[in-house]
Amino acid sequence: MPFETPTSNASERVALPAPVIQRLAGTDLVARGSVNVISIKAIRAWAGEWWSHKRADVWTYVERKLQDQLDRQDLRARISDSEFLIAMNHDQGLAAQATSVKILEDVLTHLLGAASLSDLGIRSVIGLEDGAAVCRRIDPAIVLAARARRDSARSPVRIAVEPSDEARRTPVAFTTAGGAALRVDFTLEHVVSLRRNITTAVRIEPMVTHLASGRQTSARTLTKL
């Protein structure tokens, strides 16, 4: 069960330079969810009237972070005064978004001293039309939660599942044709990307308990019942 971040229903268009359009055209990067746009508008707002003097240094720092975090074959490009496009060849969906958020976090923390949630502007590119990227905003809180493990309150597993709903669905007790009374507990387990150290999917893990003896049975054994 791949884990995807909720996005805003409203789409936005961001103009792209012709070379960037050409690089993306004919690839499946957009379709795979591998392309994102990060915004440094918070830094521009902080700089105020000094932005025109500081922006070249800011751009240089962002480009350095992109070089450090991305693979050589990944596409990175400044597409406006305060936006950068990132297209990753080996990561997609949440993993690609997490990398983009991490880069933006590092930049904001270095230049502003902190990276507040409201300043983490990131959009997922969902299409290309007439020389522009069609984007949807994503919630950075969901991406940050994907770094959590299953015992954390910020786990993405717990964000959309009400405890009362979960309790109604698990456990399930039944008696087999052979007369064995069993109980099945279902839990959601994180599937963690070792490359990015984030949760990119969740899987359902059943645990079967033989009620008479208390012995627990593996999920593999369950398929033989």
Q: Which domains does the chain have, with CATH numbers?
A: 7-145 (3.30.70), 156-222 (no CATH)
Residue 221 pLDDT greater than 70, yes or no: no
State the DSSP H helix or E strand holding residue 225, giving kind and residue range, or none if neither: none
Determine the pLDDT at residue 94.
Answer: 83
Q: Residue 191, SS3? A: strand
CA-CA-CA-CA dihedral for 186, 188, 194, 196, to nearest 10: 170
Structure tokens at 164: 């009362």
- The most confident of 63-67, 88-92, 160-164, by mean pLDDT: 63-67
Q: How far apart are CA 161 and CA 143, in angstroms?
A: 17
Phi/psi class of residue 2: alpha, beta or left (left: φ > 0; alpha: ψ in -120 to 50)? beta
Residue with tokens 């379709």: 31
pLDDT (average), residues 167-192: 75
Q: What are phi and psi of 142, to 5 degrees?
A: -70, -40
pTM above threshold 0.85 = no
